Amino acid sequence: MKIGIIGGSGLYSIEAFNYTGEEKIDTDYGEPSAAFKIYEYYGNRYYFLARHGAGHEFPPHLVNYRANISAFKKAGVDAILSFAAVGGINADLSPGDIVISDNAIDFTNGRNHTFATKGNIHHIDITEPFCPELRKAVKKSCDSSGLNFSDKGVYICTNGPRMETAAEIKAFRGMGADIVGMTLFPECSLAREAEICYVNISVVANDAAGISRNKLTADEVVETVKKSEDKLKRIILNVDIDAVENRECDCRNALENTRISKGK
């Protein structure tokens, strides 16, 4: 089976597996953020992509999300585990906590957010933006790894690259957001359009603006993720591949009955 892994700030590899090399895949939407690092483990192949590039050169609003998801599709990947560093809004969350998001709010703008083109319009259902079967597999992996985690959490995605204001975080809390990040959209919705199962695993890197009494820095984000790196790799290592391979979700038929264009 082929499984996609997207690494965010601070997670750039998964050395626990057998590294076999790199694979560069060009797409109709340009070049992905980086070449895939290919790993093998018990006969399964893992395609690892550094979301921000091999040298972390792409800020959140300039990541070529369409090329990234398209490259996974061309590689034959139909399940993606996506990792991200986020700020904690919910008072019950602390730096280092793991959140398996169960819903999301898109607060971005100006990004190329769809594969839809003139004459090829699909209105996809994204009531649940994350694959329920992959979420179960990740929760089971966290349990078997002995990790503390939350399987509830609304991720609100902002444009970045700046951090949020205290007033924005206060408003987001009122909207029901638990964590805030900058990369979930359009990544998750493009995966749904591509009929690829997708799950988000977030690491709370710091308290969000107005909650933290300290100045927010990028250094603390990377440092916290680095400290959590072993946890994240254990999640990947212990995911039940049989459960992933035999999932019975609707993600792989996401475009069914969604086309509204009248053309052929």
For residue 208, say whether it is annotated as part of any ligand binding site.
yes
Whether the bond into 60 is cis, omega within 30 of 0: no
Q: Would you tell me how many other CB atoms lie within 10 Å of the CB of residue 38?
A: 18
For residue 206, say whether it is annotated as part of any ligand binding site.
yes
> Under the phi-then-psi rule, with left for phi > 0, alpha for psi from -120 to 50, and beta for the rest, what region is 51?
alpha
What pLDDT score does 216 carry? 65
Q: What is the largest CA-CA distance in the chain?
A: 57
What pLDDT score does 81 carry? 97
- pLDDT, the chain, mean: 90
For residue 102, say whether it is annotated as part of any ligand binding site.
no
For residue 151, say whether it is annotated as part of any ligand binding site.
no
For residue 257, say whether it is annotated as part of any ligand binding site.
no
Give the sign of the dihedral formed by CA 157, CA 159, CA 160, CA 162.
negative
**pLDDT of 62 over the 90 cut:** yes
**pLDDT of 133 over the 80 cut:** yes
Tokens 């444009």: give the residue. 159
Give the sign of the dihedral formed by CA 204, CA 209, CA 211, CA 214.
positive
What pLDDT score does 262 carry? 63
For residue 182, say whether it is annotated as part of any ligand binding site.
yes
What pLDDT score does 209 carry? 80
Q: Helical H runs in 30-117?
A: 65-75
**pLDDT of 76 over the 90 cut:** yes
For residue 9, say whether it is annotated as part of any ligand binding site.
yes
Q: What is the mean pLDDT of residues 13-30?
A: 88
What are the pLDDT digits (tens) for 140-194?
999 999 998 999 999 999 999 999 999 999 999 999 999 999 999 999 999 999 9
For residue 252, say whether it is annotated as part of any ligand binding site.
no
Q: The whole model's pTM is what?
A: 0.93
What pLDDT score does 242 carry? 86
Q: Which domains are delineated in the chain?
A: 2-253 (3.40.50.1580)
H or E, element range at 84: strand 79-88
**Alpha carbons 187 and 165: distance in angstroms, whole number:** 24
- Of 151, 148, 127, nearest to 137 by C-alpha is 151
